[in-house]
Amino acid sequence: MRAAVKPDGKEYYEYILCYVDDILCMSMKAKEVMEGIGRVFKFKKGKIEPPESYLGATLRKKTLDGHNIWTMSSYDYVVAAVKNVKETLKDSPKWKIPKNAPMPMTSAYEPEMDGSN
């Protein structure tokens, strides 16, 4: 994270998120920042472009109250994970998944009110 200035003079923070070989840059000059990093570290072949996903989360650019924002959703990742588990367990009688499983907690459960350790 570092301070930066938008073209209109407003200050903001640029972010670089890095996990092993996945890099995400949030900046008004993301391409310029990534090209600078690319002069020091070797990237995979390809082009620098707005992200579609990061670490399995789907990214989307949106506008909220007149501000450009990015949203992250793990929906696609979770759907694929559940599909993989179902496929892995489908032939195992020991791990047969019931069609209607009761929820592990009642719908009235409020974890933020739980004082147990």
Strand ranges inside the chain, DSSP E: 2-5, 11-19, 22-26, 53-54, 57-64, 67-73
Q: Please give the chain's pLDDT, 117 residues, in tens.
A: 999 999 999 999 999 999 988 899 999 999 999 999 999 988 888 888 888 999 889 999 999 999 888 899 999 889 999 999 888 887 776 666 566 666 666 667 777 777 676
Burial (CB count within 10 angstroms: exposed 0-12, middle 13-18, buried 19+), residue 98: exposed
Residue 75 corresponds to which tokens in the numbers above?
């929906």
Q: What is the pLDDT of residue 44?
A: 84
Q: What is the pLDDT of residue 98?
A: 63
The overall pTM is greater than 0.85: no
Q: What is the pLDDT of residue 4?
A: 94
